[in-house]
């Protein structure tokens, strides 16, 4: 029974933080649906574009630090742990520059692929307001791994709410 309680203390914050991250898209869709059909379609297009070209790239690039952090924490090599975090953060911030440029040119890219002008213009606005969230994800992706390697899951749960704040601000601005 003790093991089950210990496991619950580890898993509960991770599951809850995962739900917070994925609820962001759901809530965005609800708000966009209230604005109208064009806004919902344009926002969905932008959200798919952002997930494929931005957030998944950030998460994938940060995943490389996971085994290094776990091993460094287990070996009590704190400098390796912090250096890995700093280097991954620098890599993600540098990697966000071409993603931001891609997002700023999203309208012309999608128009050349045959999308409607009204949808792409709404999608571009959505993506411009999502740039702060991309930068927040550049910080939070390696921070999640850094904290998870040290079993600091409650702090991780608290920090997961930060990108959601940027999402809600961008939706309210629309």
56 contacts: CB under 8 Å, gap ≥ 6: none
State the pLDDT at residue 87: 95
Note the pLDDT tens digit of each residue in 135-160: 988 988 898 889 888 877 777 677 66
For the entire predicted model, the pTM comes to: 0.79
36, 48, 84, 104 from 44: Cα distances, Å:
12, 6, 35, 17
Alpha helices in 2-105 (DSSP H): 2-35, 37-50, 56-63, 66-74, 78-104
Low-confidence ranges of the chain (pLDDT < 70): 156, 159-160, 162-174
């Amino acid at each position: 029974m003790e093991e089950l309680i210990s496991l619950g203390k580890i898993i509960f914050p991770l599951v809850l933080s995962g739900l917070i991250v994925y609820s962001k898209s759901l809530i965005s869709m609800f708000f966009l649906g209230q604005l109208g059909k064009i806004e919902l379609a344009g926002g969905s297009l932008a959200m798919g574009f952002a997930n494929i070209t931005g957030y998944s790239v950030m998460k994938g690039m940060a995943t490389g630090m996971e085994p290094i952090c776990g091993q460094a924490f287990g070996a009590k090599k704190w400098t390796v742990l912090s250096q890995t975090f700093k280097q991954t953060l620098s890599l993600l911030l540098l990697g966000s520059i071409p993603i931001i440029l891609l997002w700023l040119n999203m309208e012309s890219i999608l128009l050349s692929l045959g999308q409607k002008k009204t949808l792409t213009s709404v999608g571009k606005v959505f993506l411009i307001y999502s740039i702060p969230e991309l930068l927040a994800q550049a910080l939070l992706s390696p921070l999640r791994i850094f904290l998870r390697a040290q079993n600091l899951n409650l702090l991780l749960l608290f920090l997961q709410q930060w990108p959601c704040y940027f999402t809600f601000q961008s939706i309210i601005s629309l």
